[in-house]
Amino acid sequence: MNPEESFWSPAIRSLVPYVPGEQPKIPGLVKLNTNENPYPPSPQVVQAITAAARQGLQLYPDPQATALREVLAAHHGIAAGQVFAGNGSDEVLAHAFFAFFRHGRPLLMPDVTYSFYQVYCGLYGIAFEAVPLDEQMQIQVADYARADPLAVGGVVIANPNAPTGCALPLAAIEQLLQSQPGRVVLVDEAYVDFGADSAIGLIDRYPNLLVVQTLSKARSLAGLRVGFAAGQRHLIAALERVKDSFNSYPLDRLALAGAVAAYQDHAYFEQTRFAVMRSREGLTLALEDLGFEVLPSSANFILVRHPRRDAVLLAQALRERGILVRHFGSPRVAQYLRISVGTPPQCEALVQALGTILVA
């Protein structure tokens, strides 16, 4: 045993943690590597946080996040009892994995998806089966059907998927829900506001559906750490049990105030998400002109590859020019780069740099 590990519990020696994208403090860096929103949050969010900071920080926050859950419920046309809020959607996902997937049966997930899902499986001892995307890097829901649905521990997918950006229509989500009536199907909608359809409207019809969303992407609040789940009350009750066995106050007073304000400034949300979508379309065309293959994206990032250029070398060359993009080492995506959609000047800088790199 490595002597540094002698104080560790045996369970953590074999953990393979998630590796977040870099957050370097380099002035002038064009940071297109962690799918943040290039626009700041609504000014109303900043005002609400400032007001909350002046009032009551000596007191614990509301453990039930009631005001936020009411705002989220009103926004999505569901009941506040059908909403669970947590410290970023990563925490909500972790609680959901603990609450619903420890069946001793494999959890099904795409082979190419958000890599944190496998990390939670490692943390909680959940068996999983990676179901390959098809040749076009798309999820085929028929591949998740099993003769004995109870042989499955559940299903988790991201819609749009990450890092492909590709979205499934709601009809496909319904097919998935119907094929797993006895197990939870978790749909992670971190990027849904950039062009996919949310399954939240289906929760009343499917007792096995849990939808997870975040305020980190389309609401520009990655730094505030707020995410939530929507589902029928029996699913929310299970998440509350896990939360209240772990941390009663996952959302602090500033986060609660800022998150509520983000939903109150609807105009700003519409304006910024459409700006990102417009930039995505422009960036896609510009990269295609440079010879890149770009997967169709409904997210705030695109997954691209160049038929004749090595992805790692391209990422390095961009880095030398002060532009960060994300490369993943897993075999199916090793020749791709995931590029977050920036502001128009950031996208322009990327296209110019790639143009120079490709002629060199």
In angstroms, what is the minimal distance from the CB of 87 to ligand PMP?
A: 8
Residue number, 42 or 161, with CB nearest to ligand PMP: 161
Residue number, 173 or 286, with CB nearest to ligand PMP: 173
Dist CA 42 CA 212 (whole Å) = 22
Residue number, 34 or 64, with CB nearest to ligand PMP: 34
The amino acid occupying position 3 is P
Q: 325 near 338, Cβ under 8 Å? A: yes
The amino acid occupying position 164 is T
Question: Would you list the DSSP string of 303-322?
Answer: EEE-TTS-HHHHHHHHHHTT
In angstroms, what is the minimal distance from the CB of 187 to ligand PMP?
A: 11
Residue number, 157 or 311, with CB nearest to ligand PMP: 157
Choose among 250, 248, 202, 245: nearest CA to 224: 250
Q: Residues 248, 89, 130, 152: is their CA dihedral positive or negative?
A: positive
Q: How many CB atoms lie within 10 A of CB 172?
A: 17
Residue number, 176 or 349, with CB nearest to ligand PMP: 176
Binding stretches for ligand PMP (CB under 6 A): 88-90, 114, 158, 162, 188, 190, 214, 216, 222, 227
Q: Residues 353, 357, 358, 360: is their CA dihedral positive or negative?
A: positive
Q: Partners of 114 in the beta sheet?
A: none
Q: 249 near 63, Cβ under 8 Å? A: yes
In angstroms, what is the minimal distance from the CB of 132 to ligand PMP?
A: 18
DSSP state of 326: B
Dist CA 179 CA 62 (whole Å) = 38
Residue number, 180 or 216, with CB nearest to ligand PMP: 216
Residue number, 115 or 343, with CB nearest to ligand PMP: 115
In angstroms, what is the minimal distance from the CB of 143 to ligand PMP?
A: 20
Residue number, 192 or 304, with CB nearest to ligand PMP: 192
In angstroms, what is the minimal distance from the CB of 48 to ligand PMP?
A: 19
In angstroms, what is the minimal distance from the CB of 164 to ligand PMP?
A: 11
Q: 346 near 38, Cβ under 8 Å? A: yes
In angstroms, what is the minimal distance from the CB of 214 to ligand PMP?
A: 3
In angstroms, what is the minimal distance from the CB of 286 to ligand PMP?
A: 24
Choose among 117, 157, 167: nearest CA to 303: 167
